[in-house]
Homo-oligomer: A and B are copies of this chain.
Amino acid sequence: MLPLKKAIRPTTFIESAKLKDYFGLDITIATETFQHTGSFKFRAAYNLASQVPNDTIITASSGNFGQGLAYACKLLGKNAVIVMPDTSAKVKIEAIRGYGAQLDLIDINRISRNERVEQLAAEMPEAYKASAYNDEFVIEGNATLGDELSDKSFDAVLVPVGGGGLISGVIRGLAQNKSNAEVYGCEPLLANDAARSFQAGEIVANEKEPLTIADGARTISLGNLNWPIIQSSVKDFIEVSDENIANALRLYFTLANLKCEPTGAVSLGAILENRERFTGKKICLIVSGGNVDPLVYSQLLG
């Protein structure tokens, strides 16, 4: 079994003169689009799947965590059970199936994903129920990205935020290497529960799954394991309009030759919202993943 640091691909650093000149900022991209399964989620998934003793792992994520977990389990000889709505995009279903996971397709008008996970867990008491973002193994896995950033002398690291697993891991990784980089949470305005939580001093949830184009950030609330890390260590949150998420995705395409998914573009979107704040700083933009449907991407390119 490969240890975590050998199993993951190091993040890909990109410096684009065009992007730097466009903003007049010292920008380095740290992109996880070339991580195994196309997003940072593989870090968490592999760590979790390799650390828990269980041979079967159940999750309700049909997105990047599902793919990461399916592939991690394939590498580790374990069984991944992925609960997905039967209306999920065919490409997602095929990606998960391609990694050899067991698909559990449900009619969400009859049963919720979490209810189905509970059903399956009752049927398979030996299985581990994995959260995509609220799990100590997830934070620890994502901390490897913070490790990789820590020797680059960044003044500020901008991180897309959904359930908070990535930013918590990045904070932990930076801290354990004694980095002084400020960490900013970048969140879709339409899914701004983390920003509101940060202001309120307690976890505030969205009323329902928010309809931002950044589908990786459509979480109801921050995970309670991530919250104390975020509350104590995030410098600030920046809320990003869907329009600026789309603008950022296009700028990556034209100025940096980088294909990313909308959620991955949220950190550059934060620069579009508040460029002045980062003048004179050495900043790192984390691009969390690249998996996006070709049709959606074409429409966003416009």
Contacts and interface: CB of A to CB of B under 8 A. Distances in A.
A298 interface: yes
A278 interface: no
Number of this chain's copies in the assembly equals: 2
A258 interface: yes
Q: Is the interface of A mostly helix, strand, loop or mixed?
A: helix
B71 A17 contact: yes
A14 interface: yes
Interface residues of A, number: 33
B17 A36 contact: yes
A200 interface: no
Q: Which of A16, A91, A253, A298 gathers most chain B CB within 10 Å? A: A298
Nearest to A31: B257
A186 to B, nearest CB: 20
A302 interface: yes
Contacts of A18: 95, 98
Given A17-B36, A98-B21, A257-B33, A301 B290 contact: no
Interface string A284-296: 0000001100110
A257 B259 contact: yes
Contacts of A34: 12, 14, 16, 256-258
Contacts of A301: 294-295, 297-298
15 contacts: A9-B15, A18-B98, A34-B256, A34-B257, A91-B254, A250-B294, A253-B259, A253-B297, A257-B259, A257-B291, A258-B259, A259-B259, A294-B301, A298-B301, A298-B302
Interface of A: 9, 12, 14-18, 21, 33-34, 36-38, 71, 91, 95, 98, 250, 253-254, 256-260, 290-291, 294-295, 297-298, 301-302
Given A17-B36, A17-B37, A257-B259, 13 more contacts: A9-B15, A14-B34, A21-B98, A34-B256, A38-B257, A91-B254, A250-B294, A253-B259, A253-B297, A254-B294, A257-B290, A294-B301, A297-B301
